Amino acid sequence: MRILFVGDVVGRSGRVAVTETLPGLVRDWKLDLVVVNGENSAGGFGITEAIYHELLEAGADAITLGNHSWDQREALVFIERAPRLVRPANYPPGTPGRGAALVETRTGKRALVINAMGRIFMQPFDDPFAILDRELNACPLREAADAVVVDFHAEATSEKQGIGYFCDGRASLVVGTHTHVPTSDHRILPAGTAYMSDAGMTGDYQSIIGMDKEEPIGRFLRGYPAGRFEPAEGVATLSGVAVETDDATGLALRVAPVRIGPTLERAVPDFW
């Protein structure tokens, strides 16, 4: 199976990069599954129902979230009628929506997409290790799903690496999101799971983690806010990770970073 994971889409600039670039990648790379993190897609904070459908129409098969899941209050309602929208599974019981979704790919295969959130330097929700163990046991790779993608939305690289090894052999891909900075540690772990500490963002990299530079710099200098964070609106770079899996096992055969845009060094897989 050919899988593309697209890192945090930030604001209008990031959405334009997805809508202009993703359809061609789906066609040219013959992608089976596309997962997009959309938690910053609405003005940098949260997601709306219209944007959810916009990302699906561009080629996403599932959309994951994170700590900004509910910044757009409408998400608390429309997520119940959005079966391909996946919020962190370790939110407290009773939270709207779902933390995992079994989606049918465009080639008729089954892919389990799980979203979980870290606890180090983040809100201390339920234990992500226990939650991921539950979800992976409920829908095992090979037995119930042809591929399993885990989006671990977290701040600390150590926690992300811990989750990667914890899921090794039970997931096709474990990829970190949230920091908006792509890492160069993409690899296949010993038991066959592709891993990358952070997929980076799909947004304008002439910014401070996707936000217009003036207000963040001002806060560093002043020590207090003088206005709202606003997404940078320059041309975005699409960042993420590409994985090819073994159809017999669901585990990774190849993994490569993806960076397409004007600011970062271009990277595309050489195996498709």
pLDDT 10s digits, 182-217? 999 999 999 999 999 999 999 999 999 999 999 999
pLDDT above 90 (res 106): no
* Cα–Cα dist 205/183, whole Å: 14
**Average pLDDT in the 9-26 region?**
98
- Say yes or no to pLDDT of 141 above 90: yes
Q: For residue range 215-241, list pLDDT tens digits in order.
A: 999 999 999 998 999 999 999 999 999
Interacting residues of 78 by C-beta distance below 8 A, sequence separation 6+: 48, 49, 52
Among 234, 237, 242, 245, residue whose Cα is nearest residue 265: 237
Q: Which two tokens stand for residue 141?
A: 């790779």
**What mean pLDDT is reported for the chain?**
97
Query: What DSSP element (H or E) covers 266?
Result: none
Look at domain 2-260 and name its CATH class. alpha beta
What would the mean pLDDT of 11-34 be, rounded to a whole number? 98
Report the percentage of the chain scoring pLDDT > 90.
Answer: 97
Predicted structure pTM score: 0.96
- Residues of the chain above pLDDT 70, percent: 100
Half-sphere exposure of residue 35: CA atoms within 13 angstroms, side-chain side:
34
The residues pairing with 35 across neighbouring beta strands, listed in sequence order, are 5, 62
Residues contacting residue 18 through CB under 8 Å, at least 6 positions apart: 6, 9, 36, 55, 58, 60, 202, 238
Look at residue 93 in the predicted model and tell me its pLDDT.
Answer: 92
CA distance 113 to 97: 14
What secondary structure letter does DSSP report for 10?
Answer: B
The pLDDT-based confidence of 17 (bands split at 50, 70, 90) is: very high
Question: Could you say which of 68, 178, 180, 186 is catalytic?
Answer: 68
- Mean pLDDT, residues 67-95: 97
pLDDT (0 to 100) of residue 159:
98
| 68 carries an active-site annotation | yes
